[in-house]
Amino acid sequence: MSIPTLFTPYSVRSVTMRNRLWVAPMCEYSVEKHDGVPTDWHLVHLGGFAKGGAGLVITEATAVSAEGRISPEDTGIYSDEQRDAWSRIVAFIHSQGAVAGIQLSHAGRKASTWRPWAPERGTVPQSEGGWLAVAPSAVAFTGYAVPAELDRAGIDGIVADFAAATRRSIDAGFDVLELHAAHGYLLHQFLSPLSNLRTDEYGGSLENRARLLLEVIAAVRAEAGEAAALFVRFSATDWADGGWDQEQTATVAGWARDAGADFFDISTGGLVSGTTIPLAPGYQVPFADFVKHASSVEVSAVGLITEARQAEEIITSGRADAVMLARAIMRDPHFPLRAAHELGVELDYWPAQYLRAKWPA
């Protein structure tokens, strides 16, 4: 009997994932010292997914600078101490047979916010450990403080921060680098005409709005070398009139591929509040499908993918090359092992310590 496509290996450059069930970035807001250094929580959280059989485990949005953190409790990769702490986590992920990825991020105007379970909402004031956020334009996200508009020196500094974060990520042992250009964070803010009102070479036309992303991709590829896999996460729509959409996403994905990116992680939304999103199982898969075929690029799909056969069908139908799991794998970190059982696949990477819990053949 042939192996379901979901459990066949998948390679990007020199990196091979053992299957196509991958862990999407999920913010944990759990750095208690506000120093960006990942903790034992991150080791157990991410290591559990590797132990559970995932092919690729990607970290939460990891800031390339202190000002790029979403919250004071976010992780970073802008210091050697952070690099060394990530190295320990990467080593464990590798020990379980999974590939380790890091999502490099700058929150832009959505930086310096309270973590979700804090009683407060909105922007953390500077008097309480917050900072002034930056953005392409001085336009606030709903309920947040107005950011400072980046000047040319600031933009050049962003590119340099991504390059430096790349070097530390490679030194920490990460196999996959993912640039966060989705969910309303800085690179997405430059892409969307709803948040980018600039009139210089970084605003206006699609080419100008994509300029920063393409500069970051070039800088990251130059620093990472040819072996590392480079992903870009896009929100394929703002779900808002006049905003970023799937056609623009497909066009820029082609440019990004030509600039050195390899693979595209397709999500949606996050730039503006008050939108209506038609939530349903696999509701974002059509966007991945569109980008894949419009631009002839490789993509993953994410969003309410909760069942093994659903995931298998997404791949065998040709709509995506892999699936990303978030809430479903948080509920069941051993989702890949369970999915293999449901699809009749005999895996050789069950943890030896757990073999007595394996289902009978």
Question: Which residues make beta-bridge pairs with 101?
Answer: 58, 176
Task: List the structure tokens of 232.
Answer: 């870009």
To which residue do tokens 């419009």 refer?
Answer: 294
Alpha-carbon distance 217 to 208, whole Å?
15
187, 180 in Cβ contact below 8 A? yes
73, 79 in Cβ contact below 8 A? no
- For residue 300, the SS3 value is strand
185 catalytic per annotation: yes
> What b/e sequence results for 276-298 when a residue is b if at least 16 CB atoms lie within 10 Å of its CB, and e otherwise?
eeeeeebebbebbbbbbeebebb
Q: State CA 34 to chain mean position distance.
A: 21
236, 271 in Cβ contact below 8 A? no
Active-site hit among 185, 202, 349, 354: 185
To which residue do tokens 């480079």 refer?
Answer: 230
Alpha-carbon distance 47 to 44, whole Å?
5
Q: State CA 290 to chain mean position distance.
A: 19
- 3-class secondary structure per residue, 41-71: HHHHHHHHHHHCCCCEEEEEEEECCHHHCCC
H-helix or E-strand spanning residue 57: strand 56-63
Which ranges of 52-151 would DSSP assign to H, the alpha helix? Answer: 80-95
177, 216 in Cβ contact below 8 A? no
Question: Which residues make beta-bridge pairs with 182?
Answer: none
Angle formed by the axes of helices 285-295 and 246-259, nearest 10°? 50
The residues annotated as belonging to the active site are 185
